């Protein structure tokens, strides 16, 4: 069977729920079977079980980060041939070199767009892999705005839980939980275009990771972030 007519399996491994759902939504429009995992260990298990034709992989994840997972994938006989596209908000030179040395075929940065995703797939799997990419040029500005609004709406529905997790982390002085929540929020907010939230998350991460920081300093940064998240909820509720 010609590969262009097969039901292609794509595995998305990312700890950000918004990114997993947005990738699944985008790629499913092209008759691709999209499976998702939220951490490296689960992603490795899924790759072994389903043997996808392509993997989208985040760099920073709990349990097993993207670079280490990529190294494991490239030494397993049944998986080493699978092309991997790295998706990350941290595409500085060191990360790019580490990912390429570990065997990544391509690296794309957040925030992601449909055009970037389809181009990345075509670059890796062949320029004619997705015949339906021609319809991208036919998308009107209204349709693109609609997609962006849908992503932002989904992002907003997760804000209540994220805020509760931040508040709980502060109350229990739980740095590990706070780091996980902030990392996921940083990635998902960047994906939907809230770069100010991503920057605030980076500020919080910097304070949390600093051994000299006090919980008062961490709390101050988090309160600024919580205030901005509340503003987003209020603006989108109008």
Q: How far apart are the first and last CA of the chain?
A: 51
Q: Are 37 and 13 in contact (CB under 8 A)?
A: yes
| Cβ-based neighbour number of residue 2 at 10 Å | 5
CA–CA distances in Å: residue 33 to residues 70, 78, 124, 154:
21, 20, 17, 21
Angle between helices 175-191 and 215-237 in degrees, nearest 10: 30
Domain ranges of the chain: 3-138, 154-237
In angstroms, the CA 203 to CA 13 distance is 25
pTM score of the predicted model: 0.66
Looking at residue 30, its pLDDT comes to: 77
User: pLDDT 10s digit of each residue in the chain, 238 long?
Assistant: 344 456 789 999 988 888 888 888 878 777 788 999 988 889 999 999 999 999 999 887 777 888 889 999 999 998 999 999 998 776 566 777 888 888 899 888 777 777 788 888 888 887 667 654 444 444 556 555 666 666 777 777 888 888 999 999 999 999 988 988 888 788 778 777 788 898 899 899 899 989 899 999 999 999 999 999 999 888 866 6
CATH topology of domain 3-138: Rossmann fold (3.40.50)
Domain 154-237 belongs to what architecture? Answer: Up-down Bundle (1.20)
> What DSSP designation does 186 have?
H
Which pLDDT belongs to residue 208? 92
3-class SS at 39? Answer: coil
The C-alpha atoms of residue 184 and residue 169 are separated, in whole angstroms, by 14
Could you give the CA distance from residue 179 to residue 149 in angstroms, rounded to a whole number? 28
pLDDT score for 117: 83
Six token digits for residue 63: 């349990």
Residue 15: name the closest of 88, 79, 76, 119 by CA: 88
Is there a common fold for 3-138 and 154-237?
A: no
């Amino acid at each position: 069977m010609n590969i262009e007519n097969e039901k292609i399996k794509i595995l998305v491994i990312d700890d950000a729920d918004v990114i997993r759902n947005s990738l699944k939504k985008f790629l499913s429009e092209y008759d691709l079977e999209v499976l998702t995992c939220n951490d490296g260990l689960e992603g490795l298990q899924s790759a072994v079980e389903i043997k996808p034709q392509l993997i989208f992989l985040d760099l920073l994840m709990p349990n097993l980060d993207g670079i280490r997972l990529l190294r494991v994938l490239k030494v397993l006989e049944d998986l080493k041939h699978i092309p991997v596209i790295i998706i990350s908000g941290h595409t500085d030179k060191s990360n790019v070199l580490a990912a390429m040395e570990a065997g990544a075929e391509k690296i794309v940065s957040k925030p992601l767009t449909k055009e970037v995703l389809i181009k990345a797939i075509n670059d890796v799997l062949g320029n004619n892999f997705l015949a339906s990419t021609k319809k991208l040029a036919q998308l009107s500005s209204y349709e693109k705005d609609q997609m962006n609004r849908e992503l932002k709406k989904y992002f907003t529905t997760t804000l209540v839980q994220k805020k509760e997790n931040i508040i709980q982390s502060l109350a229990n002085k739980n740095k590990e939980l706070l780091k996980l929540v902030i990392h996921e929020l940083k990635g998902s907010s960047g994906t939907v275009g809230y770069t100010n939230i991503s920057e605030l998350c980076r500020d919080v991460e910097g304070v949390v990771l600093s051994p000299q920081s006090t919980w008062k300093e961490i709390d101050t940064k988090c309160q600024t972030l919580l205030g901005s998240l509340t503003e987003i909820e209020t603006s989108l509720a109008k």
